[in-house]
Structures are given as structure tokens and as C-alpha cells.
Amino acid sequence: MKTLDRWHNEWFEVRYLNDNYVERYSYESIYNDMEDKERQLFFRQLSQENVSLSCKCKKNRSIDMLVVENAKSNRFHLRTSNGQKSVHYELCNFAGDQPSNYHKAWQEDEKGNVKIRLDDKSFLIADKTKRNTRSNKNIGINTFHRMSNYAFFVKWILDAWNIKVRSSYKKGIAPPTLKEVYNMLFNRSTKMTFHKNKTLDKVFYFSGDIVKKIKAVKYHEKMNTLVFMKIDRLEEIKKGIYKGLYKASLYNERDNKTVQILCEKVLLEQVVGSLRVKSSPYMVGGWVELNENGDPTFVNITLVPISSNGLFVESQNERELYNKLHKEKRYVVKLYKPYIQWKGMLPDGLLIDTKPQTILEVFGMSKGDEDYHIRKEQKINHFSSLQNYGFWKWDAYKGDSLPKIPNQN
């Protein structure tokens, strides 16, 4: 299954051969954050240094990259070495013929309006006679500018969370509960267009009778309905017409009701198999239709692991940290892209109620993962050298218990 991790933005590696020093950058920090002049200077410097450049979008393989100068324009470009173009991970910026920018898949203007491009067209009601072709829809070069369902749900809930936490902190009110985050998901959906200028709230199931909502969307918008809710229970149906299917019981924070949605076993197994965080709570996101008996059924499904209050987590250790911070009414955000002074390194979390703000890192992977631990050292060195940020880390992989968290001030 295709998932887009937040780690995607640490893919470009510069190895300085003289002193064997390595720096990693996100393509986003190079192509979105740098001004053109700055980027040209950066490429020019790289072309003069004794460096080897690589793209690290594939887990077990380095892809050689080059900085080349255009003889006519004297402008510098980054490109893949000959013969390696097809090796890039399909969502890498350098997959395909030219550097594409899948960040175009989530474009936000100054007013907070967002344009989304999804690579899965499950929001459209399928022609039942052509059912089986659905899985072929993802093929095509356009997917490089689009985002997977997983990336979309993660981005949406992080976005809602961060906006809510920052505004609560500013107003001096308590950090958000899961219910408040859920309400914010809805507020944001009114500003998110995803298909032919339709906003997401038109298809988002938020409260009331799910069957009525699905029918309304189906007849008026000719689309499936979007569900994104905390999962309560997931169980296999043992008898009756739905034997062998799964029943997902979802808790609607909005009106404190549980809704039940059917799901095919194979869809669920794919998702569960690719989960990085193996324990609940999760939000479940997906497009839902009514089956021939009028029962809500997932067309596709994604699980997003969260903390007790609805913050996206990437490990059980991270969840432990955030749950503690929620209990102590602390204000923590989790960014989707690094600030420019972080040199493409994305911290796990950022505590915004300390002065200066505190970068949070949870190191949970076993020592066996060499790349991870090289990266870990770089992060520690860089983050602890920053004057305008505090730095807190937890070596959970050593079995250390949670260290003291800096006090709020």
C-alpha cells in the first residue's frame, strides 16, 4: 500500500567527502522555502565542493544526484544521474521526467483556503458494472502531483490540531479536547476544495443520521461520503448476510453517538498490515457508500494513530509523551514541514508554551537501524545548537523513562 510519511521531506543528502560530514535537506526546503537567488547560490556552492549528492527516497538504495550548469543561462539545476531516473520512489520529487512537486497536492493561500489533489478517486460513485477497474485508477504520471489518502488525513488532522492549539494558547484557554479537534476538522473542511471547486464539508459526515447524509450527498453531489472519526471497535461479523465482513463502530464526538460502517476484510487487512503504530486509539478515515441493502460501507479505509486528544502520533512512545502533555494542559504542535533554520530536519513535536519554544524528539527505534541513528546524531547536534529553541529528547530506545519536561512559562 502506498503511504506518504512525514519523513519524505528529508530525502536530499549531501556528503562532504573531505571530512565525511553529511547534511540532509528536504526538497521542500530547497524548492519552496529558498528564494531563487538563494537556491542558485546553494547549487553553485555544491558544484564547487567535493561532495557526493544522493536522493534517499528509497529505503535500501541511494540514488546519485548531480548539480549541472546550463551553459546558456548559467543557471544551476539538480538532476538524477544517468540511468537512475526510474529508481526513485514514486512519490519522490524526482520521480518522472522533471522535478515535480507533490506539495502542490495541498496548496494553501494566505486566507487559509486549501486546494487538495487526491490520488485516489474513491470519492466518485463508481459505475457498478466497472467495479473491478477501480484499483487501476492510481496509475498515471499525474499521481506525482497528488497525495495519498493517508497523507491527506494526516495533514488534515495536523492542520486542525495546530490551528486549534495555537489559537487556544493565544487566547489563554485550555488546549483542545478531541471533540474540539473534531469540530475544527469540520471548520477546516468548509475551506478545503478537492474536486471541481467543491468544498469538503459538502461530503463530510459530521453529525446526524449517516444514512440520510450519504443519500443526500449521493443524489445532490453524485459522490460518496467522507468519514473521519475515532474508532471504537472493530469486529468480524460471524453470521448472517454480512458474514466475513468487518463492522467498524465509530464514535461521533459531535453528538455522542456510535455509527456502524461495514468494511471488506481485504481492505482492512491491507491497512492494518502497513500500520507503524500497532495500538489504538486511531481515527478512521475513508469514503463510504450505501450497499445494495442500504447499509453504509467503506469504499476505502485509512487508519491514523492519534493521542488521547487527537494529535497524530508516529510511535507509541510519542503517544505516551503527548498524552502526558495533554493531561498537564500543555500546548504542543506537530509540524508538517520544517522551519528553514532546522535545515530540513523535522522534529517530532514543538512545545509552544515555553520561552524559547522547545523542540521535542522521541528516539524509539532500535540500535539496529543505522540510518536512523546517524540521523538521530545529526538532529541532536543541530537542534541543541540552536539559540532560539530549547531542546528536549527522550532516548526511549534505551528503555529510559520519560525525562522531565521543561516547565511552562
> What is the spatial distance between Cα 277 and Cα 296, in angstroms, rounded to a whole number?
27
Closest distance to Zn ion from the beta carbon of 372 (Å): 18
Please state, in angstroms and as integers, the Cα–Cα distance from residue 72 to each residue in 37, 69, 180, following that order. Answer: 17, 9, 56
Q: Nearer to Zn ion by C-beta: 57 or 332?
A: 57
Closest distance to Zn ion from the beta carbon of 12 (Å): 8
Among 27, 76, 94, 156, binds Zn ion (CB under 5 A): 94
Exposure letters 121-137 (e unless 16+ CB within 10 A, then b): ebbeebeeeeeeebeee
Is residue 57 within the footprint of Zn ion (CB under 5 A)? yes
Among 30, 78, 92, 157, binds Zn ion (CB under 5 A): 92
Is residue 55 within the footprint of Zn ion (CB under 5 A)? yes
Q: Nearer to Zn ion by C-beta: 7 or 339?
A: 7
Q: Nearer to Zn ion by C-beta: 93 or 252?
A: 93
Task: Provide the total of helices (H) and of strands (E) in the chain, helices listed first.
Answer: 8, 19
Closest distance to Zn ion from the beta carbon of 99 (Å): 10
Closest distance to Zn ion from the beta carbon of 291 (Å): 41
Alpha helices in 222-350 (DSSP H): 265-273, 316-327
Among 6, 88, 146, 375, binds Zn ion (CB under 5 A): 88
Q: Nearer to Zn ion by C-beta: 55 or 359?
A: 55
Is residue 188 within the footprint of Zn ion (CB under 5 A)? no
CA torsion 208→211→213→215, rounded to 10°? -160
> What is the spatial distance between Cα 105 and Cα 402, in angstroms, rounded to a whole number?
37
Q: 199 - beta bridge partners?
A: 193
Please choose, out of 53-61, 113-121, 194-202, 340-348, the segment that lies near Zn ion by the rule CB under 5 A: 53-61
Q: Nearer to Zn ion by C-beta: 90 or 232?
A: 90
Closest distance to Zn ion from the beta carbon of 85 (Å): 10
Contacting residues for 166 by C-beta, under 8 A, at least 6 apart: 331, 333, 352
Q: Nearer to Zn ion by C-beta: 57 or 118?
A: 57
Closest distance to Zn ion from the beta carbon of 346 (Å): 17
Contacting residues for 329 by C-beta, under 8 A, at least 6 apart: 174, 175
Q: Nearer to Zn ion by C-beta: 92 or 200?
A: 92
CB contact at 8 A, 225 and 203 = yes
Closest distance to Zn ion from the beta carbon of 143 (Å): 15
Contacting residues for 408 by C-beta, under 8 A, at least 6 apart: 330, 353, 354
> What is the spatial distance between Cα 203 and Cα 123, in angstroms, rounded to a whole number?
9
Please choose, out of 52-60, 231-239, 253-261, 330-338, the segment that lies near Zn ion by the rule CB under 5 A: 52-60
Q: Nearer to Zn ion by C-beta: 94 or 182?
A: 94
Q: Which three cell numbers stand for residue 352?
A: 509552544
Q: Can you give the binding site for Zn ion, defined by CB under 5 A?
A: 55, 57, 88, 92, 94
